Amino acid sequence: MKLQDLIYFNKLVELKSYTTVSEYFGVSQPTISMAIQRLEKEFNVELINRNQAHRKIKISPHGKVLYKHTDIINRAVEEIKKDMHHNFKVPIRFGLPPIIGNYYFPILALELSKSDILDDLDNIEAGSGKLLDQLRSGEIDIALLGSNEPIESHAIKSKVLTKSDFKIIVSLNSPLAKLKKIKIKDLNNINFISLSNDFIHHNTFNKLCNEHSIKVHIRYRTQDVELLKQLVSEDLGVSFLTEQAISPKDNLVAIPIDDDDLDKFYVSLTYRKTHVLSPKEKQLIAVLINSIKK
């Protein structure tokens, strides 16, 4: 069985025209026809119901089954092409959410420099949700991602490196600043400064609000974590952040959340299972694992 025959069949199902498929691949129409005949002989089934009167093709039930498999194969072939194109070229396309980057990258930069990797990095910054989509689509190859549970995916290799708690942050002048602990229900109708939708914080806090049947008044949304903390410090609202994003210089009070059902903030090393790692990428992964401890 030839791989190219399967690819021809996959495209024929999509385009439903021998002529169009032959033009797409730049081969003769008989080449496509013979490829389909070889597959039918290989599996001893009819894959295409041919209607000569209307010059149309109809995919048989066996053909529909084969298409499911060839679709996976075709996507894998495209993934291989991307990897072969990018794998041994610099820079390394590396996804890094701002919160994780701000906390860990100063530590990582020294080790990456010692390993002669720093100059090879092309850092792409965005929220973890957006970066996960870019990882799946092949726009980036390796990422540190935040999540409220360990990442499980048939397509993504994931290793939890560390985890931490979420906290409510308030200004020094807030009436809440004196609290030792706070419950999510105590935030009902409070003014809130939110990170944008592609941050895991947004989804995690929304989940908590739904579970505790509360609503908050969102005064401002931002992708800029430093701006968020500044707005909170000016007492324009409270917010919800992982403790890794909070430092003493922020002039904020971080209040522990006293609810048993609170998720943790996981930091995971991720890359596509189909991605063939280059020597530099393997070095990068080793540095990330050794530098970010649980």
- Domain holding 70: CATH number? 1.10.10.10
Q: How far apart are CA 240 and CA 204, in angstroms?
A: 9
- Mean pLDDT estimate for the chain: 89
Instruction: Decide which of 27, 54, 85 is a domain's last residue.
Output: 85
Percent of the chain with pLDDT over 70: 95
User: Based on the domain organization, do 138 and 284 belong to the same domain?
Assistant: yes
User: Based on the domain organization, do 81 and 18 belong to the same domain?
Assistant: yes
Predicted confidence at residue 87, as pLDDT, reads 52
Predicted confidence at residue 81, as pLDDT, reads 74
User: Based on the domain organization, do 188 and 260 belong to the same domain?
Assistant: yes
Q: What is the mean pLDDT of residues 21-34?
A: 90
Q: How far apart are CA 142 and CA 268, in angstroms?
A: 11
User: Based on the domain organization, do 137 and 97 belong to the same domain?
Assistant: yes
Structural domain count of the chain: 3
Predicted confidence at residue 226, as pLDDT, reads 92
User: Which has more confidence, 67 or 50?
Assistant: 67
Q: How far apart are CA 294 and CA 285, in angstroms?
A: 15
Predicted confidence at residue 90, as pLDDT, reads 62
Give the lowest-confidence range in 106-120, 158-172, 199-213.
106-120
User: Which has more confidence, 1 or 127?
Assistant: 127
Which residues 6+ apart lie within 8 Å of 79 measured at CB? 138, 272, 274, 275
7 confidence band (pLDDT: 50, 70, 90): very high
Q: What is the mean pLDDT of residues 176-181?
A: 94
Predicted confidence at residue 54, as pLDDT, reads 46
User: Based on the domain organization, do 13 and 30 belong to the same domain?
Assistant: yes
Q: Which residues pair with 240 in a beta bridge?
A: 168
Q: pLDDT of 66-110, one tens digit each? A: 999 998 998 888 877 777 665 555 689 999 998 898 888 888 888
Percent of the chain with pLDDT over 90: 60
Q: Quick one: angle between helices 98-114 and 225-233, nearest 10? A: 130
- Rounded to 5°, the CA angle 281-287-292 comes to 130
For residue 88, what are the CA distances in angstroms to 92, 200, 248, 282? Answer: 9, 32, 42, 12
User: Based on the domain organization, do 270 and 158 belong to the same domain?
Assistant: yes
User: Which has more confidence, 55 or 259?
Assistant: 259
Cα of 100 vs its chain's centroid, Å = 14
Q: pLDDT of 218-250, one tens digit each? A: 999 998 999 999 999 999 999 999 998 998 889
Cβ 166 vs Cβ 201: under 8 Å:
yes
Instruction: Decide which of 53, 85, 117 is a domain's last residue.
Output: 85
Domain CATH number, residue 96: 3.40.190.10
User: Based on the domain organization, do 141 and 213 belong to the same domain?
Assistant: no
Instruction: Decide which of 85, 112, 134 is a domain's last residue.
Output: 85
Give the domain range for residue 215. 164-264
User: Based on the domain organization, do 155 and 287 belong to the same domain?
Assistant: yes
**CA nearest to 263, candidates 215, 206, 223:** 206
User: Based on the domain organization, do 79 and 116 belong to the same domain?
Assistant: no
User: Based on the domain organization, do 169 and 259 belong to the same domain?
Assistant: yes
Q: Where are the beta strands (DSSP E) in the chain?
A: 48-51, 56-59, 92-95, 121-124, 142-147, 156-171, 191-195, 217-222, 239-242, 252-256, 264-272
Count CB-CB contacts under 10 A for residue 218.
12
User: Based on the domain organization, do 137 and 170 belong to the same domain?
Assistant: no
Q: What is the mean pLDDT of residues 276-282?
A: 89
Q: What is the mean pLDDT of residues 149-171?
A: 93
Q: pLDDT of 99-141, one tens digit each? A: 898 888 888 888 888 888 888 899 999 999 999 999 999 999 9
User: Based on the domain organization, do 100 and 232 belong to the same domain?
Assistant: no
Q: Where are the beta strands (DSSP E) in 60-149?
A: 92-95, 121-124, 142-147
